[in-house]
C-alpha cells in the first residue's frame, strides 16, 4: 500500500489569463511552504421537513467553493507575486535621480536637496534608498541602504547614521529593487490556478479561480518572520496526471528573522518592540446563483490594513498616541544579512488601544489601523508601501 507524504507533494501556482480557466501548463512555480489548507468546500442544504418517524430527510450538496491558507517562512523573492496581488498593483521600479546638490547632516540625520522635490520625484516614507557621489569624509554615505523615516519636498530624514557633507554636488539616489502599494486607480485583479500533485498516488487537485483574500505577517521577537496567505476560489478539478510541466523552483533567499531589521514608530527607531503583526485583508467573497454550483467570480472589496504592535512599557508615548487619536507612521524593515532588505511602511496609522501583559517586565499590546496618507503623493499617498530590494 502506498501512502502519500507531504515531502512528495508538489504545490505550485500560476496566474490565470481568464478567471477560472486553466492557464498554460508551463511557467508555474512551486510554493516554498510550511503548510497549506486549501480545500474544496460544499454548502450542505438541509431539509426542514417534519416526519412522524422523527428522521430527517437526506441533505443535499450545494454550491462549491475553495478556500484555505498557505503558510510560509518569509524570504525575499519567495511570494512577491502574491504580495502584488493582495495590494492589486504590480511591482515597479522607481526612477533613479542624478545631478542633485545635497547637504548631509549627522545630527538630524537627514539629506536636504537645494532644488526640486523628493515627493515629486516619487519618494515616500518607508522607502529604502542609496546615495552616490559623496566624496572625501562623506563617502561613507555612498551605497549605504538608508531607511526614509520622514519626508518633505526638500528634506529626507533617515534612521541610520549619516556622514556630514556641506552642499555636495553631482549626487545620485536610487531606490533598490522594486516597490508596490495600493494604487488609487488601475487596480489589478489577479487569479491563480494552484495544483497539488500527489506523486505517490498519482492524483492532481487543480484549484481554479484562486484570488488572494488576505496576507498576514507575524514578527515575534528573536524569531523567523512568517506569512500566511489566504486564498478564496471558485472550484476544484481532479485528474490522474500532473498538469503543470516542470514548475520552477520556489526561489527566495534565506528566511528573514526579526533580530535583523528595524522597527520605526512615528519616525523613531524603537528598541522596545516585542511583536508586530500586519493583516492586509482584501475582504473577498463568493456569490451564489441559480442553475450552477460554482460562483461566477470571487469578488474583491475594500482593502483593510491593520495589525498589532507590542512594546515594553518604558513611557506613556504609545498610550498618548491612542488617547489623543494621533496619526503616526509605522515602518518595519527586515534585512537578509547579505545586503537585501524588505520593508512594510504605513505613513498614516491610528492606534486603537489594546491590552497589558507580563509577569516581570510589562508589555503593552496596541491594535492599529492604517489609512491613506492625505499629505502624500503617488506611493506616499497609499495606505501601505512594500519594497523588496532584490527584485529586478
Residues ≥6 apart with Cβ < 8 Å to 216: 227, 228, 230, 277, 278, 279, 280
Nearest 5°: the CA angle 249, 87, 341 is: 55
Residue 297 located in a structural domain: yes
pLDDT tens track for 144-160: 999 999 999 999 999 99
Residue 356 located in a structural domain: yes
Please say if the pLDDT value at position 241 is more than 90: yes
How much is the pLDDT for 305?
Answer: 98
- The answer on 147 and 87 residing in a single domain is no
- The answer on 370 and 242 residing in a single domain is yes
Grid coordinates representing 95 are 526612477
Query: Total structural domains in the chain?
Result: 2
- The answer on 197 and 119 residing in a single domain is no
Residue 3 located in a structural domain: no
Residues ≥6 apart with Cβ < 8 Å to 153: 117, 118, 119, 120
| Reported pTM | 0.95
189 vs 241: CA distance, rounded Å: 29
- The answer on 255 and 377 residing in a single domain is yes
Q: How confident is the model at residue 353 (pLDDT cuts 50, 70, 90)?
A: confident
Rounded to 5 degrees, φ, ψ at 85 are -70, -40
Domain carrying residue 144: 97-176
- The answer on 206 and 134 residing in a single domain is no
- Lookup result for grid cell 509577569: 359
How much is the pLDDT for 217?
Answer: 98
Over residues 26-44, the mean pLDDT reads 96
How much is the pLDDT for 358?
Answer: 78
- The answer on 302 and 219 residing in a single domain is yes
How much is the pLDDT for 355?
Answer: 86
Over residues 308-315, the mean pLDDT reads 93
pLDDT tens track for 212-230: 999 999 999 999 999 999 9
- The answer on 381 and 239 residing in a single domain is yes
17 vs 20: CA distance, rounded Å: 9
Number of H helices, E strands in the chain: 2, 26
- The answer on 167 and 290 residing in a single domain is no
Q: Which of 139, 156, 176 is the last residue of a domain?
A: 176
- The answer on 347 and 290 residing in a single domain is yes
Amino acid at each position: 500500500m502506498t501512502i502519500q507524504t507531504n515531502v512528495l507533494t508538489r504545490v505550485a501556482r500560476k496566474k490565470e489569463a481568464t478567471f477560472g480557466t486553466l492557464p498554460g501548463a508551463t511557467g508555474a512555480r512551486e510554493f516554498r511552504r510550511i503548510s497549506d489548507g486549501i480545500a474544496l468546500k460544499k454548502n450542505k442544504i438541509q431539509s426542514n421537513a417534519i416526519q412522524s418517524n422523527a428522521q430527517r430527510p437526506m441533505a443535499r450538496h450545494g454550491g462549491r467553493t475553495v478556500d484555505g491558507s498557505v503558510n510560509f517562512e518569509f524570504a525575499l523573492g519567495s511570494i512577491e507575486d502574491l504580495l502584488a496581488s493582495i495590494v492589486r498593483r504590480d511591482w515597479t521600479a522607481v526612477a533613479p535621480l542624478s545631478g542633485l546638490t545635497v547637504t548631509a547632516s549627522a545630527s538630524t540625520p537627514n539629506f536636504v536637496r537645494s532644488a526640486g522635490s523628493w515627493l515629486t520625484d516619487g519618494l515616500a516614507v518607508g522607502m529604502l534608498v542609496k546615495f552616490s557621489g559623496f566624496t572625501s569624509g562623506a563617502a561613507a554615505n555612498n551605497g549605504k541602504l538608508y531607511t526614509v523615516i520622514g519626508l518633505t519636498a526638500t528634506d529626507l530624514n533617515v534612521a541610520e547614521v549619516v556622514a556630514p557633507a556641506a552642499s555636495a554636488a553631482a549626487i545620485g539616489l536610487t531606490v533598490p529593487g522594486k516597490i508596490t502599494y495600493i494604487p488609487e486607480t488601475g487596480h489589478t485583479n489577479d487569479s491563480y490556478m494552484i495544483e497539488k500533485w500527489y506523486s505517490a498516488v498519482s492524483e492532481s487537485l487543480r484549484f481554479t479561480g484562486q484570488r488572494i483574500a488576505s496576507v498576514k505577517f507575524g514578527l515575534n521577537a528573536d524569531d523567523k518572520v512568517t506569512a500566511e496567505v489566504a486564498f478564496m476560489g471558485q472550484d476544484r478539478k481532479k485528474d490522474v496526471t500532473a498538469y503543470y510541466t516542470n514548475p520552477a523552483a520556489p526561489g527566495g533567499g534565506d528566511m528573514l528573522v526579526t533580530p535583523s531589521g528595524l522597527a520605526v514608530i512615528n519616525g523613531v527607531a524603537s528598541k522596545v518592540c516585542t511583536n508586530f503583526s500586519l493583516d492586509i485583508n482584501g475582504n473577498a467573497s463568493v456569490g451564489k446563483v441559480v442553475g450552477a454550483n460554482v460562483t461566477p467570480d470571487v469578488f474583491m472589496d475594500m482593502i483593510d490594513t491593520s495589525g498589532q504592535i507590542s512594546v515594553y512599557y518604558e513611557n506613556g508615548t504609545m498610550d498618548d498616541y491612542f488617547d489623543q487619536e494621533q496619526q503616526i507612521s509605522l515602518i518595519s524593515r527586515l534585512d537578509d544579512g547579505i545586503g537585501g532588505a524588505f520593508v512594510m511602511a504605513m505613513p498614516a496609522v491610528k492606534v486603537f488601544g489594546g491590552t497589558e501583559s507580563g509577569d516581570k517586565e510589562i508589555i503593552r499590546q496596541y491594535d492599529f489601523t492604517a489609512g491613506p496618507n492625505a499629505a502624500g503623493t503617488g506611493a506616499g499617498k497609499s495606505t501601505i508601501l512594500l519594497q523588496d530590494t532584490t527584485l529586478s
